[in-house]
Structure 1
Amino acid sequence: MRTLINCVDLRALHAFVTVCETRSMTKAARVLGVTQSAVSQLIASLEREQGVSLFDRDFRPVRPNAAGRILFEQAGGLLEHAQTVTHKVRSAARTGVANLRIGCVDSFAASVGPHLVARLAERAQELSMWSGLTPILSEQLVNRELDLAICTEATLDPSRVALRPLFSEPFVAVVPKSWHETHRDQAFYQVLRDLPLLRYTGRSVIGQQVERFVTHMNYYAPRRYEFDDTDPLLSLVASGFGCAITTPMCLWQSRVHLADIAVVPLRLTQLGYRHFFILTRRAEWPDIAEAVAHESASIVREVIGPSLAAALPGLPIKTFDSYTTGLECA
């Protein structure tokens, strides 16, 4: 039966099933919209491929013989499967992709992610969005577990992975709002004399990037408290426990705490920005990557930017404008 399934001509099989159902070559031709001669040729071709006769031609109306009955019993499933495959292929051609697996760093997934899924819904039959750390997402992309990854560092082999700059955001310092009300004019190096610096762990890319910036700016702060996630870090800032260096995207990710924190301006240098990139395997998904880049920039500019501006008026205007319109990437 494996040989039969591998070799069968689906057009001829469809004609065969129609003849069996109508019990007439003439009626089958009418149903299929072809000539009776065309139906006869398809049946003859099918019989040659299988090496057996499929009809008992001594009887009228025509009826399948033993081999024909076996084929008729199996044909329905074959044709249904073929129709399903065709439908999926055509749908994918119309929408751009059948199944799309996107991996994002946590802050992007929690802020831009829901809006991005809604905007990509018409382009994919099925869409999955995973979140995680940049090194894990990069590995999943290379291993073909993801089709596209949105990361904040690009260290993969450029011969295997295509990189597209997405946008950049500045580092910002945050302090308890209650503390800020009585220390409004202090620079961040002065803040560190009064409040402990709450850090991201060094195993995260943002933790490594913030640490490079702190070292570059000569901000002295003992290493005492570290967190994998933005939410506990901002929760402690909001409660008055300490201060932190984070980014606008991370702030929006944990926006439940925004009412209880305030922003302290930082003097930004080239190391004072976190850059987002879209990573794809070489020569794969260029149109989808273009769509994701366009929609992500639009979401940051039209949705997240204005919402953050309203919630945190202390963000420096120039820096904030650069962030929402997209900075050049390193």
Structure 2
Amino acid sequence: MAASKAPATVRRALDMPDLRALETFVAVCDASSMVLAAERLGLSQSAVSQAIKSLEDDLGLQLMDREVRPARPTHAGRVLHEAAARLLSQARAAMDHVRATARQELAQIRLGCVDSFAATVGPSLIRAMAGKAREFQMWSGLTPTLTEQMLGRELDMVICTETSVHDPRIAQRLLFSESWVAVYPKDHLLPGPATLQGLNASASHLPLIRYSQRSVTGQQIDRYLRHVGVQAPRSCEFDATDPLLSLVASGLGWALSTPLCLWQSRHHLDAVQVVPLPPARLGQRHFFLLSREGEWSGLDDEVARVTREVIRRDTAPAIHQRLPALPREVISCPEDITS
């Protein structure tokens, strides 16, 4: 039976030149010595000799005259040297072009952020990154949608409050954390500092205005309430802070929220009172930066650094000035925790 022919794709692959072998051959011709070529390439002399022998086998031609010392290229070798030098130059130019284009693309950042971050920290972050990115595009939305867009490469980076992404190619950096706070109508009589008993008492006298279960914030607050044992029947629910805070300001209920969410809707702050809560294991929400590992040449690290700087320098001081009853640790960055 006749031997079957190799598939066309295999034959084409065998016909393609080995750029490493060509680089080795050109180095030998330029150095007029296999020993010197091996030193320049950081290879063993046997590896250099084997690379040239493989080229000769692939071409079916003798490329080096080994009868003379040092070995010299044959006529076929001289032709290959000239062609290979051009090919390697083109290959290096192609690689340089890819790197330059990639660096240029790094300046185009598509950043997705949860709404409370985009509306508060977002403007300062964009100003701070203005000299580091040619084009900075920001999307806002709910965490589940943003993470899906990240996985689908519609977004380059995402700042979210919780993630179920377990892709090892996606790096997750903790940016900062903020504690839950209780928000009451301005004229609501508080028995004293917020306690878990006080929360239960509030739940029995006023409806709890909630964030909806579609939002990660709503899910996190529900976990916190179950953890601390506060029973609060479901009433009105909202995806966003503004309508939620509007109902509290109108005396129609109380809510759990965060400093950043309140700062997003700060035009309601004069009509409410904000009370810190006792520390608890689930008493915080954490903000993370998601980015694809190794694709951003450190630009994702810069976004994380600038975000923390904006939080410490601008956002946290502004919130504390407006809400002096809140403790300083209600907003914290990783450096603050470890210092």
The TM tier, using the shorter chain, reads 0.5 to 0.7
Change (3 A) 1:145 1:302: same
Once the two structures are superposed, the pairs formed by residues 180-219 of structure 1 within 5 Å of their partners are: 180=189, 183-184=191-192, 187-219=198-230
SS at match of 2:128: helix
Residue among 152, 155, 159 paired with 1:143: 152
Using structure 1 for the length normalisation, give the TM-score.
Answer: 0.67
Give the unaligned 5+ runs of structure 2.
1-96
Deviations, residues 296-316 of structure 1 (Å, cap 9, x unaligned): 11111111111111211221x
Contact kept in structure 1, 2:174 and 2:334, CA below 8 Å: no
SS at match of 1:202: coil
* 1:108 matched to 2:114: no
Change (3 A) 1:97 1:313: same
Q: What residue number does 1:319 align with? A: 329
Q: What residue number does 2:257 align with? A: 246
Q: What residue number does 1:235 align with? A: 246
2: distance between equivalents of 1:260 and 1:179? 11
1: distance between equivalents of 2:213 and 2:122? 25
SS at match of 1:162: strand
- Aligned identity (percent) is 47
Using structure 2 for the length normalisation, give the TM-score.
Answer: 0.65
Letter of the 1:213 counterpart: Y
Once the two structures are superposed, the pairs formed by residues 1-330 of structure 1 within 5 Å of their partners are: 89=100, 97-180=106-189, 183-184=191-192, 187-315=198-326, 317-320=327-330, 322=332, 327=337
Q: What residue number does 1:36 align with? A: none
Contact kept in structure 2, 1:175 and 1:244, CA below 8 Å: yes
Change (3 A) 1:325 1:249: farther
Q: What residue number does 1:64 align with? A: none
Change (3 A) 1:324 1:110: farther
Change (3 A) 1:153 1:327: farther
Shift of 1:89: 4.7
2: distance between equivalents of 1:146 and 1:103? 6
1: distance between equivalents of 2:203 and 2:276? 13
Contact kept in structure 2, 1:171 and 1:273, CA below 8 Å: yes
2: distance between equivalents of 1:216 and 1:195? 20
Shift of 1:203: 1.1
SS at match of 2:252: coil
Mean Cα deviation higher: 247-256 or 154-163 = 154-163
- What RMSD, in angstroms, separates the aligned Cα atoms of the two structures? 2.4
2: distance between equivalents of 1:206 and 1:325? 24
Shift of 1:158: 3.2
Letter of the 2:106 counterpart: V
Mean Cα deviation higher: 110-119 or 189-198 = 189-198
Contact kept in structure 2, 1:162 and 1:281, CA below 8 Å: yes
2: distance between equivalents of 1:205 and 1:275? 11
1: distance between equivalents of 2:166 and 2:118? 24
Shift of 1:114: 0.5
Letter of the 1:158 counterpart: D
Letter of the 1:170 counterpart: S
SS at match of 1:121: coil
Shift of 1:142: 1.1
Shift of 1:185: 5.1
Shift of 1:232: 0.3
Deviations, residues 42-94 of structure 1 (Å, cap 9, x unaligned): xxxxxxxxxxxxxxxxxxxxxxxxxxxxxxxxxxxxxxxxxxxx9x958956x
Q: What residue number does 2:60 align with? A: none
Shift of 1:281: 1.6
1: distance between equivalents of 2:331 and 2:116? 19
1: distance between equivalents of 2:221 and 2:185? 19
Change (3 A) 1:231 1:241: same
Give the unaligned 5+ runs of structure 1.
1-85
Deviations, residues 80-125 of structure 1 (Å, cap 9, x unaligned): xxxxxx9x958956xx833110000010000000100111111111
Contact kept in structure 2, 1:97 and 1:123, CA below 8 Å: no
1: distance between equivalents of 2:131 and 2:300? 15
Change (3 A) 1:264 1:190: farther
SS at match of 1:178: coil
The number of aligned residues is 238
Shift of 1:322: 4.0
Contact kept in structure 2, 1:173 and 1:243, CA below 8 Å: yes
- Runs of 4+ residues deviating >3 angstroms: 88-93, 182-186, 321-328
